[in-house]
Structures are given as C-alpha cells and as structure tokens.
C-alpha cells in the first residue's frame, strides 16, 4: 500500500512532477522584436549583414594557403576539364548553342565562390535543369511559328532570348532569392529523398529518350506537352530507316569507350588520385577524326558548328514573354534549390562543417539572376561533379575559381576547335552520365524491403515524371508523398498491451509472447496524432479491441430495462408463468457482464490533438463512465495535456486531473488496482 501511494505521488500533478508556467508572448511583440533587430543600422550590424551575404569575406582571410592550395588547384583543374565537354553536351538538352553552356559554367562558379556556404559543392549546368529549360524553349519556338528542325540564326537568337533573357525565364528564379529573404529554407524538407530520387530517375529517362535521335542521326519533330517520352519513341521507330550509319557507328564506339572507362574508374578509384578525363579524350579524338575524315561533308553527320570566342555584350530585359513562362520558373527554382541544399548538407555533414539553407537560396538565386544578363541559363549543384570535386582534394571554393579559369581559356581561345565535333558524341556523353540515375532501378528490391511506402512514392514520381512531364512529375511526387503521410495517420497501428512479467513495462500482446494480461483493465495504444481525419478509426479500433461499444451497450441495457419493467407489470397483473420459463426470461433480461472496469489509453504516440480529437476523448470518457467503466490517460506529452486542459477534459479548474491523467502506464494500472481494492473493501 505504501508503494502504491508513493507511485501516485510521483505520477500525479499534485506530487513531485509540476508543470512549469510559461509566459506567453504575443505575435505582435515577436514581430516587433524581429523588425527592431533586423532594421537596426549600426556599423557592426551592417558589417555582419555584408559578411553574411558574402561568406567569402569570412573564410578567405583565414585561408591556409600551404595546406589548401594544392587540393583546390587540383580539383579545380579536374572539374574545369570535365565541365567543358559536359557544357557542350548539355547544350543539346537546352536546345541552345554550346557557347551559352560555357558562359553559364563560368559565371556560376564565380558567383557561388562569393556567396556559397558549402566548401565542396560544384555549381554549374545540370542535366535536369537543362532539360526543363529546353522544353520551355521548344514550346516558345513552336508558338512563335519556327520549325524546330531548322538551325538558322533566327531560331538560335529567339531560343537564347527565351532561355537566358533576364526577366523572361532565369530572372524569374528570383523566387529563390525571395525564399531566402523570407527564410523559407525549410521548404526543402517537403522534397523527400524518395521524391528527389524518383524525379531524377524519371527525368533521366526523358533525357535519354531525347538523345536517341542524335545517336542514330535522324530528324524527328520535337514533342511538346504531356507524354513526350512515348511520342518521341513512336517517332523514332517511324523514322528508324533514315538512320545515319556514320552516327550509329560513332555512337556505338563512343559509348563502349566511355562505359568501359567509367567501369575501370569505379573499380580502381581507390588507386587513382584523379578521375580519368575520359569525356575530354573522347571529344578531342572524335573532333580530330570528324575534321580530317570530313564526316559532315561525306556522310552528312551532324556537327556542333561554329562556336564563337569571347563574350557577347549583355542585354536589357524584355517583358513580352514573362506572362507565358512565369509558371515555368517555379519548378526550376524549387528543383535547383532542392538539389543544391541536399548536396550541401550531405557534404557538410561528411566533412564536419555547417551550411546555411537560406544563404544557399540567395547563392543559387544570384547564380541565375546575374548571369542571365550575360546569356546564361538556369544552374544548380550537380552530384557527379561534386563527388569528383571532393575526391580530388577540394578544401574550399577557391577550386571554383580555378574551374572558371579553365572554362575561360576555352571561351577565349579554344572554342572554335570544336567546330567538327559530332552531336552524336555529345549525346553519348549525356547518356553515359545518366548511369547513376538509371541504376536506381536495381535498388528497387532493396528499397522495397526497407520501406514499401517510400518505394511506392519513388515509383509514382518516376513514372509521372517520365510519362507525363518533368514538372508534373515533381508536383505529383510531392502531393503523393504528403498523401501517404495523411493515409498513415488516418489508419495507424493500434494495439492492446500486456505487462512484461515482473516489470513495470507494457508491450503489444500481438507482437510479443508471455505477456501478462492486466486484470479488470484494457490498455489501448494508438500510434498517431488524434485529429478529425482519424477519430472514427480511433473509435472503431477501441471498440473492436476492447469488445465493447459503449453506445450500443447502453442502448441494449435501456432496452432490457424497459422489457424488465414490462415483465414486472405483467407479473403484477397475475400472469401465470411457469417457474422454469420465468427463470429463463429473467436470465435473458440481465445485461451482459463486462470483464473489465478500466480502460487505459496509452498516448505516448499521440503527438497532438485537434478539436475533434478532444471532443472524441470527452465522449469516450462520458460514454464509458455511464457503464461504470473508468477511462485513464497515460504518457501524454505536454502539448496534449495543454490541449486537454483547454478543452475542459479534466473538469472545471482541472479538479479531476489527478484521477484521469498519469505519466506512465504502470501508474495508471496501480491507480486502477487501488480503486478496485477500495471498492471491494467498501462492498465488504
């Protein structure tokens, strides 16, 4: 008895555990405080704002030249060498001339060096964004009445106007800057790993499909709208007889060389200090063979054409197309930021430093806004180049400056040398670069074994991105992922608990053997928040597991009482009933006896209650109390307790709180046993 009394002291609010009283601050005061802090204009405040906006001012003065310079130079040169062929190749995805991809790679590296917070992320052209830009370019060219299969200067000028004009497309990535201003970095949390992986894999299928026509050297109409993947494959098979044999042979050779080199590089990457520059070697050799073999003149093989040197003068904004492409900027902004912040956080965790999500929004936003005046299109971080950068000894973003210098040399002097480079070679480089994303299909069984719901989210995102469109695929993936969360909370796991022998702990009697049932009590666990969408499921599960629906039981008892009164009236009127029949009738009218007097609800997994949840618990308390059954709550977190207080669950001034709420299941069980002993003693 002493132990039981002590238990009640510990687990009741009247005892040792007393909730703190927190001072509530109004929203107006919080806003005023933040505005006062943000708008204060002191020298120190101004200095911090500038240094936060340009993180390079913080870390560059502390740069350890002897320790860092070799790794930064090595990684910068390697990334620069990789950037050049990739930039030229990805221009096919964007539907633009190679020179604009080189511009994009140059400016993005410089700006991220000044504004980025990650030491290892490689920012530049990204295949997914290039594909999304290319789809916008194709659509606008068709609306303007151009033939997409032509390659004259008018089309090229109009295309670059769509893809790079400051206030037409890339300047609309100002959304990223606005997200940084309003501290919306948390938005990336809603893009789960399954959604991003599925989106990248689905988009990779679209990218691969778009490059097949270059591999075999055929001209087919560019598809627009939804279902691009299926339409493109139909057109490919219809025109397969027109395949250029020279392009087919070149593609087979290049893919074989690239895949073999990649496999060797993966197998011996521990022994290789730097990755093999296979793409650059393939481009140089293919360009020489095409030039001296005159493949364009003799076999009509499609080539890159003239790539000018130097920089084109910047241009002023034009608002004519803004209303048509404004919505296209939203998925570009979200995808660019999501991949950048996920890579930044991944490598920051690996190398033990921190990144600022909101500053990353600023950095990527300005990597798109400022270069767009200089004929650059959308950029973000890229996984493959970031992995290479970290593996080659990168220490800081000084390596980005080195990469920009390498690209600058190509822009100023070497670009015209790629005139004879076949487009099928560029397509091969793009397709081989998709190996990582396409290999995700091999991981489906392992992913399914780990989590079936995440696998379903991945599959839905993959197929919607590939079969509908990339933008719709991302939207569908996010919505479906959220729907899965809602469904999980709508029909969560429920259980009846039993006591682990000789302990004060309780577990699911469906999952574990040798658990002791608690006499005269049912312990019910609900593993989700209780809110309007799952309150009906909560009630059904509780009634089913306890074997008692209080509403139906109360109705039965009232009906039996009514019948019993009628029977007594008939007896008083002198109705003759045989003894055995009278006994059977009386037995039939006695209500069913319940084998428990207490229900304990384990609320340890209930993270919050809404109004519907509070009303549901109050109704349960009332209905069971009418049947002389006590309902106790155990393991509620402070927010749930506050919700119950505000909903008057514990009565006026919370007078019944110590009789209804317990901080452990065992405390509730001990209270129920004490109450049963007291009741039995009173009866005696």
Q: What is the residue-wise DSSP string for 280-306?
A: HHHHHHHHHHHHHHTHHHHH---B---
Compute the distance between CA of residue 166 and CA of residue 316 in angstroms, rounded to an integer. 8
- The strand pairing partners of 496, in sequence order, are 524
- The strand pairing partners of 422, in sequence order, are 303
- CB atoms < 10 A from the CB of 161, how many? 19
How far, in Å, are 80, 237, 341, 406 from residue 397 at the CA level? 13, 47, 16, 15
Compute the distance between CA of residue 499 and CA of residue 505 in angstroms, rounded to an integer. 6
First to last CA, the chain: 19
Closest CA to 466 of 204, 92, 192: 204
Judged by DSSP in three states, 133 sits in helix
Compute the distance between CA of residue 557 and CA of residue 306 in angstroms, rounded to an integer. 93
Structure tokens of 378? 């959308």
Pairing status of strand 515-516 against strand 506-508: unpaired
Q: Decide: residue 552, CB within 10 A, 0-12 exposed, 13-18 middle, 19+ buried.
A: exposed
Alpha-helical (H) ranges within 60-192 are 65-94, 98-115, 127-143, 153-164, 174-181
pLDDT at position 131 is 79
- Do residues 654 and 645 make contact, with C-beta atoms less than 8 angstroms apart? yes
* Cα Rg, the chain, nearest whole Å: 35
Compute the distance between CA of residue 116 and CA of residue 106 in angstroms, rounded to an integer. 15
Compute the distance between CA of residue 604 and CA of residue 48 in angstroms, rounded to an integer. 44
Pairing status of strand 515-516 against strand 494-500: antiparallel
DSSP state of 303: B
Closest CA to 121 of 279, 345, 293: 345
Structure tokens of 20? 């703190």
Compute the distance between CA of residue 476 and CA of residue 198 in angstroms, rounded to an integer. 11
Closest CA to 430 of 78, 81, 92, 82: 92
How far, in Å, are 4, 14, 178, 202, 468 from residue 471 at the CA level? 62, 57, 21, 11, 9
- Do residues 481 and 464 make contact, with C-beta atoms less than 8 angstroms apart? no
Q: Who's near 149: CB < 8 A, 6+ residues apart?
A: 219, 221, 222
Q: Who's near 296: CB < 8 A, 6+ residues apart?
A: 290, 302, 303, 420
Domains contained in the chain, CATH given:
55-487 (no CATH), 494-547+594-680 (3.30.750.24)
CA torsion through residues 574, 580, 583, 589, sign: negative
Compute the distance between CA of residue 164 and CA of residue 137 in angstroms, rounded to an integer. 10
Compute the distance between CA of residue 33 and CA of residue 251 in angstroms, rounded to an integer. 63
Q: Who's near 641: CB < 8 A, 6+ residues apart?
A: 19, 661
Alpha-helical (H) ranges within 506-549 are 535-546
DSSP state of 268: T
Closest CA to 406 of 24, 180, 82: 82
pLDDT at position 179 is 54
Structure tokens of 460? 């839905």
Write out the E strands in 434-544. Answer: 494-500, 506-508, 515-516, 521-526
pLDDT at position 659 is 84
- The strand pairing partners of 633, in sequence order, are 601, 661
Compute the distance between CA of residue 188 and CA of residue 207 in angstroms, rounded to an integer. 24
Compute the distance between CA of residue 213 and CA of residue 253 in angstroms, rounded to an integer. 17
Question: How many Cα atoms within 13 Å fall on the side-chain side of residue 547?
Answer: 9
Alpha-helical (H) ranges within 611-664 are 611-626, 638-646, 657-660
Closest CA to 412 of 84, 123, 124, 76: 84
pLDDT in tens, 289-322: 999 999 988 888 888 877 788 888 877 655 666 6
- Residue ranges in the chain whose pLDDT is less than 50: 1-16, 165-172, 576-578, 580, 583, 585-590, 678-679, 681-684
Structure tokens of 28? 């107006």
pLDDT in tens, 497-509: 999 988 899 999 8
């Amino acid at each position: 008895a002493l132990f039981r009394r002590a238990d009640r002291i510990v687990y009741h609010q009247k005892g040792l555990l007393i909730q703190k009283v927190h001072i509530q601050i109004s929203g107006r005061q919080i806003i005023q405080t933040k505005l006062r802090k943000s708008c204060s204009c002191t020298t120190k405040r101004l200095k911090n704002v500038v240094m936060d906006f340009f993180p390079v001012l913080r870390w560059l003065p502390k740069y350890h030249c002897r320790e860092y310079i070799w790794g930064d130079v090595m990684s910068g040169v390697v990334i620069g060498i990789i950037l050049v062929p990739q930039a030229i190749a990805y221009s096919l995805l964007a539907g633009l001339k190679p020179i604009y991809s080189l511009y994009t790679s140059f400016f993005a590296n410089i700006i991220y060096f000044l504004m980025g917070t990650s030491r290892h992320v490689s920012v530049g052209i990204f295949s997914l964004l290039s594909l999304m830009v290319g789809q916008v370019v194709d659509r606008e060219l068709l609306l303007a009445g151009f033939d997409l299969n032509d390659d004259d200067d008018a089309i090229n000028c109009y295309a670059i106007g769509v893809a790079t004009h400051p206030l037409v497309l890339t300047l609309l990535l100002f959304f990223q800057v606005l997200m940084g201003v309003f501290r919306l970095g948390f938005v990336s949390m809603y893009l789960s790993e399954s959604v991003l992986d599925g989106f990248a894999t689905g988009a990779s299928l679209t990218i691969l499909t778009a490059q097949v026509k270059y591999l075999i050297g055929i001209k087919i109409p560019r598809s627009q709208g939804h279902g691009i993947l299926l339409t493109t494959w139909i057109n490919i098979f219809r025109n397969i007889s027109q395949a250029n044999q020279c392009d087919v042979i070149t593609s087979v050779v290049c893919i074989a060389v690239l895949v073999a080199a990649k496999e060797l590089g993966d197998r011996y990457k521990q022994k290789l200090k730097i990755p093999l520059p296979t793409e650059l070697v393939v481009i140089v050799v293919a360009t020489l063979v095409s030039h001296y073999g005159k493949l364009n003149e003799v076999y009509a093989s499609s080539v890159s054409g003239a790539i000018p040197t130097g920089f084109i003068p910047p241009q002023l904004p034009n608002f004519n197309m803004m209303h048509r492409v404004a919505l296209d900027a939203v998925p570009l902004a979200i995808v660019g930021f999501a991949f950048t912040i996920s890579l930044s956080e991944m490598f920051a965790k690996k190398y033990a430093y921190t990144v600022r999500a909101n500053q990353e929004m600023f950095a990527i936003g300005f990597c798109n806004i400022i270069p767009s005046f200089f004929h650059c299109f959308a950029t973000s971080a890229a996984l493959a180049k970031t992995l290479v950068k970290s593996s080659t000894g990168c220490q800081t973003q000084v390596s980005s400056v080195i990469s920009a210098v390498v690209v600058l040399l190509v822009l100023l002097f070497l670009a015209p040398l790629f005139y004879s480079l076949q487009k099928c070679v560029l397509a091969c480089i793009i397709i081989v670069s998709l190996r990582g994303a396409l290999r995700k299909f091999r991981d489906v069984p392992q992913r399914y074994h780990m989590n079936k719901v995440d696998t379903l989210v991945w599959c839905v995102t993959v197929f919607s991105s590939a079969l509908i469109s990339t933008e719709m695929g991302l939207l569908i993936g996010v919505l479906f992922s959220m729907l899965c969360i809602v469904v999980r909370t709508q029909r969560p796991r429920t259980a009846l608990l039993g006591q682990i022998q000789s302990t004060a702990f309780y577990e699911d009697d469906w999952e574990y053997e040798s658990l002791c049932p608690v006499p005269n009590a049912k312990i019910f666990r609900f593993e989700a928040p209780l809110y309007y969408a799952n309150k009906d499921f909560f009630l059904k599960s509780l009634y089913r597991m306890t074997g008692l629906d209080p509403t139906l039981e109360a109705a039965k008892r009232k009906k039996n009482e009514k019948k019993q009164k009628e029977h007594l009236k008939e007896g008083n009127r002198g109705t003759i009933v045989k003894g055995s029949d009278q006994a059977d009738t009386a037995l039939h009218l006695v209500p069913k006896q319940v084998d428990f007097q207490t229900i304990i609800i384990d609320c340890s997994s209930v993270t919050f209650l809404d109004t519907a949840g509070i009303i549901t618990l109050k109704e349960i308390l009332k209905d069971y109390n009418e049947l002389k059954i006590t309902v106790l709550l155990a393991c509620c977190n402070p927010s749930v307790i506050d919700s119950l207080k505000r909903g008057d669950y514990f009565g006026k001034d919370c007078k019944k709180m110590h009789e209804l709420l317990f901080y452990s299941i065992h405390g509730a069980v001990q209270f129920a046993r004490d109450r049963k002993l007291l009741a039995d003693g009173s009866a005696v």
